[in-house]
Amino acid sequence: MSLQLKTIAAPHVPVRYHEGGSGQPLVFLHGAGGAMPNDPFLEKLASKYHVYAPLLPGYGDSEECPSLRDMLDFTLHSWDVVEALGLKNPILAGHSMGGMIAAEMAAIAPNDVTRLGLICPAGLWLDDHPIPDLFATMPYEYPQLLFHNVEAGAALFTAGAQVDDPEWLKAFLVTNARQLGMAGKILFPVPDRGLSSRLYRIKAKTILVWGDSDKLISPVYAQAFKKGIRGAELVAIPEAGHMVTLEKPDQVVSALARLG
Amino acid sequence: MKFTWFNLMPWPHLPDDFREKNHSVWVDIDSRLFDPVKSHEVYNTYLDLLEYASTLGFDGIGVNEHHQNGYGIMPSPNIIAASLARRTKDVALVVLGNSIALYNPPVRVAEEFAMLDCISGGRLVAGFPVGTSMDTNYCYGQIPALTREKYQEAHDLIMKAWHDPDPFAWNGRYTKLRHVNIWPRPIQKPNPPVHIPGGGSVETYDFCLDNTYSYSYLSFSGYIRAKALMEGYWDRVAKRNTADMSPYRAGFAQTICVADTDEEAQRLYEKHVLYFYNRCLHVYPGFADAPGYRTIKTIQTGALSQYAPPKGYADVTWKELTEGGHVIAGSPETVRQRMEELIKSLNVGNIFCLMHVGDMPREKCMYSTRLFADKVMPKLRNMFPDYANDDRFWCHPVEQVKPGSLPTERDAFAVAGHA
């Protein structure tokens, strides 16, 4: 099921979003890496749901938004987008940074979300399990951190580019400055903006999805989220890393199906 | 011309296999390589060298700020500048500078710089860098995409704290203060001259021109590679119809080594220069440029971080470094010629002379410094006669108190009637 890239007006900035599929409305918030062109996970989701996947400002070809600075700005902006899309109580799901934003949305407006899917979300910090510094990671080091099958992950990442080609490097740096620069506002230098003290507010039925070999955000964090969100269920997926959405898309979609 | 003798204060005891065995010289450098007892001597030698340079006719002596860094053991430049203020006379104290986005609240910088200006009798030249990504983001945790906005606000607050004679409230995004009213205040009015280190962004050019600040490019890659960047600056100066093209609107840092002959320069200094480029500049490229730290516009101009050069400095040679202009080294005549080329081609009036390099021992550093001061500097003094009176970018000292201002103990005791 292919999705279309569209634009919708939101209070701060026009927002680009992928839309496609039919079924119950589901809003999916991407991780710090953004959405891939023809993102295979979004296509899988769209075979079951009516998917809306907004891009954060600065991601993909979307306009930047300097006035979004902190966690509250990100959270309210994301609610603004749901409102602009005309959705009421959609299934809310997010991966990594997107999971962090989704959890914040559910915590700040607990009566507006009844189904929440958090796929290896960021947002908590455990001193005994420090999360590697994504912002000090070179492109060639990403596959090791993000994939269970490092070789297959590396092929996805480099896509045949010569990393010492100056033009490629410039394009890479611009994309990184736009995307990770934006992500850094809520993830740098430590991806904790106080979510742990707000998790108790979440009323939604919550499914946590985690790859067993996640080396970016250790599965230990799944337990911390489970402890913080009343009644949350954990679906652990074997042979999958942080990019569980790319490595095991079918299993992630089935896990989310438990939200009803 | 204004010549400032600069010491980055590198740690001189990094092992031979530092590059092979260590992740980075900066941010996560192995703390076990730092020996506090040895540092007692290192610090005092470096301070002695700065004081020595102040007696040889340099216009200024310079210090800067780095954190968790094996080639700059000066996280607080103000502490070094304060000790220099007491032990030197008649030279500018060029603090290049305080990374103002890191201080909370930033009025701390307004206060400390005011103290330095008062203690030194108006000899402060104040630098306000945004700071490198290594220092600002990775060591001090500032959010990359917000660093510039925070910097700008800190600058505005510091200037208002210096300029406004009355208490005021500051309702900033990053700093909120109900009563700003710093004590002491700087001697130099309305404020000490300001130099802004930059790395090629148009925003910084404009910031300097709007405020009559000097723009300085602190590079380790030398004057030949700096040409494109400095041309960008001067193009901007011209494009904005700035009243003048004074060379004092710009500064440049250059590594310089002088000996009797070119051959002797290589024999004496090669080892120390390679120590610097090979070991001290071994910065893990993942720390060079946090995403969001530089503006898109700046990246698009192709100004890539100098801390992540495409080929690195692992196998760089003396020949490449001297021919490429990273290092100006040789006899006084060779150095004079190349300095003249630098000054003319970049149109810079402020030179930050990096004359202590890597693990250079003090004798060699003194020798090189003395030759530069006696045989090179005098010949470069009048490069810009049209701007000889341009004092907008330099300090304006008051009459200095004499050392030993205390009376004799006998005179002191006389207050109580003792004979």
What pLDDT, on the 0 to 100 scale, is given for residue B230? 95
Domains in chain A, ordered, with CATH? 4-257 (3.40.50.1820)
What pLDDT, on the 0 to 100 scale, is given for residue B20? 95
% of residues, chain B, pLDDT over 90: 89
Nearest residue on chain B to A142, judged by CA atoms?
B286
**Residue B306 — very low, low, confident or very high, per pLDDT cuts 50/70/90?**
low
CB contact under 8 A, A181 and B141: no
- For B60, list phi and psi in degrees, rounded to 5: -150, 165
- Between CA B271 and CA B328 the distance in angstroms is 15
- Mean pLDDT along residues B21-26: 97
**How many Cβ atoms from other residues are within 10 Å of residue B330's Cβ?**
24
What's the token pair of residue A187?
């993830």
Q: How far is CA A131 from the centre of its chain?
A: 16
Distance in Å from the first CA to the final CA of chain B: 54
Checking ipTM against 0.85, whether it exceeds it is yes
What pLDDT, on the 0 to 100 scale, is given for residue A159? 63
Q: What is the pLDDT of residues A157-177, one digit of tens each?
A: 666 565 566 777 778 788 889
**A162–B contact, CB cutoff 8 A:** no
Angle between helices B147-163 and B107-119 (to 10 degrees): 50
Q: Which residues pair with A25 in a beta bridge?
A: A50
Domains in chain B, ordered, with CATH? 2-416 (3.20.20.30)
Residues of chain B with Cβ-Cβ distance to A138 below 8 Å are 285-286
CB contact under 8 A, B286 and A141: yes
- Mean pLDDT along residues B372-397: 97
% of residues, chain B, pLDDT over 70: 98
Select the highest-mean-pLDDT range: A41-45, B197-201, B225-229.
A41-45
pTM value? 0.95
Angle between helices B362-371 and B262-274 (to 10 degrees): 130
Residues of chain A with Cβ-Cβ distance to B310 below 8 Å are 164, 166
What pLDDT, on the 0 to 100 scale, is given for residue B302? 65
pLDDT value at B157 more than 70: yes
What pLDDT, on the 0 to 100 scale, is given for residue B312? 75
**A61–B contact, CB cutoff 8 A:** no
How confident is chain A (260 residues) per 10-residue block, as mean pLDDT?
A: 93 97 97 89 97 98 97 98 98 98 98 98 98 92 93 75 68 88 98 98 98 98 98 98 97 97
- Between CA B172 and CA B185 the distance in angstroms is 22
**A132–B contact, CB cutoff 8 A:** no
**Residue B200 — very low, low, confident or very high, per pLDDT cuts 50/70/90?**
confident
- Mean pLDDT along residues B35-60: 98
Nearest to B143 among A141, A169, A184 (CB): A184
CB contact under 8 A, A184 and B300: no
**Residue B404 — very low, low, confident or very high, per pLDDT cuts 50/70/90?**
confident
- Between CA A23 and CA A93 the distance in angstroms is 15
What pLDDT, on the 0 to 100 scale, is given for residue A105? 98
What pLDDT, on the 0 to 100 scale, is given for residue B295? 84
Q: H-helix or E-strand containing B178?
A: strand B176-180
Q: Which of A61, A134, A135 to mutate to test the interface with B (most CBs of B within 10 A)?
A: A135
What's the token pair of residue A215?
């080396």
